[in-house]
Amino acid sequence: MSDRSNNSVMTSSVRAIIGAEVLVIDRDESVRNGVAKLAAEAKMNATCVADPSDAWEMLRERFFSVVVVDLDSPTPNAGVETVTSIKMISPTTSILVLTPRKSYESAVEVIRAGASDIVHKSPDSVIYLKDLMMAAAARSQQRQEMGALLKSASSTHENFLQLLMTTEREVLDLRDKVAGRDPKQLDGQLRVLVVDRSDILYKGLKELAPNGYQIDHAQTGGEALDRGSSKIGYHFAFVADDLPDLPQSMVVRSLSSQNSELIALTFRGPKVGGTVELVGTGTTVVSNFTETAQLVARLPDLAEAFHAKEKQRRYTQAFREKHYDFVRSFVSLKEKLDLHLPD
């Protein structure tokens, strides 16, 4: 590397640590003051506490590039647990551990806990500690900046995909309009499966539902699953809460897994206190469901919901077919970004 490149790197590192925040955790006031002085000489800001319990709130409220931890504060070897806790709160912070004794076991413990280095408390280590603090601050700042950059890149990546998909939707809508095609119009009928040991709801829907609906009935969960696996392909399934053979939740999950486009609803009634719920949304379609006419009145809303879902599926399918290589590249890059993004 040339002298000019070396100078550029050094200048960048110095600039990165100016104003960096340093947290010192040591029960010895003289040590705290000494480390704070070293930080000031390096143009960094030091905050000192005697006990780790005083540090947690500060670590959550602001970012410290470096934390200097005494291995024996407040008790012998308590610094190992302190290092672990700091790493959980602030993963990109660099941690330096001070120890009054030379111990291989202690060094291994704190490094495994997440410390960057361990320094023996002695006059000979002062300059070394200062250099370590400066280098650690620079690394920590760079990690934080890289994390922010990755988050920005990930967000921009997502926004670009959404913008591209929106543009594609507008193009498809325009093509439909030019071709005179109504995007809300579904070929054939909306097919409805009523899963209920009673035929009250089934007969009521057959009688009251407007044209454009095909109503079928399954008296058991097993029969419903057989029908769901056929080529009919239902758009809606109303599943009662008191089936004679299978749990309602099992029938709903199975029908939905057989057909990802299915809109599943659970119901109790029609009777006083009955309800109709849209599965997976927590939405109550009909409260106090006492008569079939209440559900029939909501069919247009349900049909609109299905058309919206079908339209979105069509958009997504068309986008994937047209931009297959881009989508594959997008997913791969997204996985890599997520892998390196800080928690």
Work out the widest C-alpha separation in the chain, in whole angstroms.
94
Instruction: Compute CA distances 197 → 20, 186, 201, 217, whole Å.
Output: 70, 30, 10, 9
We report the CATH number of the domain holding residue 111 as 3.40.50.2300
Q: Where are the beta strands (DSSP E) in 167-209?
A: 190-195
Does 11 share its domain with 87? Answer: yes
Q: Is the dihedral of CA 320, 322, 326, 328 positive or negative?
A: positive
Residue 141 lies inside a defined structural domain of this protein: yes
Give the per-residue pLDDT at 314: 73
Residue 23: strand pairing partners: 47, 67
Q: What is the pLDDT of residues 276-321, one digit of tens each?
A: 999 988 889 999 999 999 999 999 888 887 777 777 777 777 777 8
Length of the chain: 343
Residue 173 lies inside a defined structural domain of this protein: no
Give the per-residue pLDDT at 2: 43
Q: Which of 112, 147, 182 is the last residue of a domain?
A: 147
Does 107 share its domain with 230? Answer: no
Does 18 share its domain with 138? Answer: yes
Residue 342 lies inside a defined structural domain of this protein: no
DSSP 8-state assignment for residue 202: H
Give the per-residue pLDDT at 64: 93
Q: Is the full-model pTM beyond 0.75?
A: no
Does 142 share its domain with 49? Answer: yes
Does 203 share its domain with 294? Answer: yes
Residue 155 lies inside a defined structural domain of this protein: no
Residue 76 lies inside a defined structural domain of this protein: yes
Q: Which of 147, 179, 198 is the last residue of a domain?
A: 147
User: How many alpha carbons fall within 13 Å on the CB side of residue 296?
Assistant: 18
The ranges of the chain with pLDDT < 70 are 1-16, 176, 179-188, 340-343
Does 18 share its domain with 125? Answer: yes
Query: Is the Cβ–Cβ distance between 260 and 286 less than 8 Å?
Result: no
Domain hosting 233: range is 190-322
- Three-state DSSP state, 17: helix
Residue 181 lies inside a defined structural domain of this protein: no
Q: Which of 147, 177, 212 is the last residue of a domain?
A: 147
Q: What's the number of domains the chain is made of?
A: 2
Residue 158 lies inside a defined structural domain of this protein: no
Residue 177 lies inside a defined structural domain of this protein: no
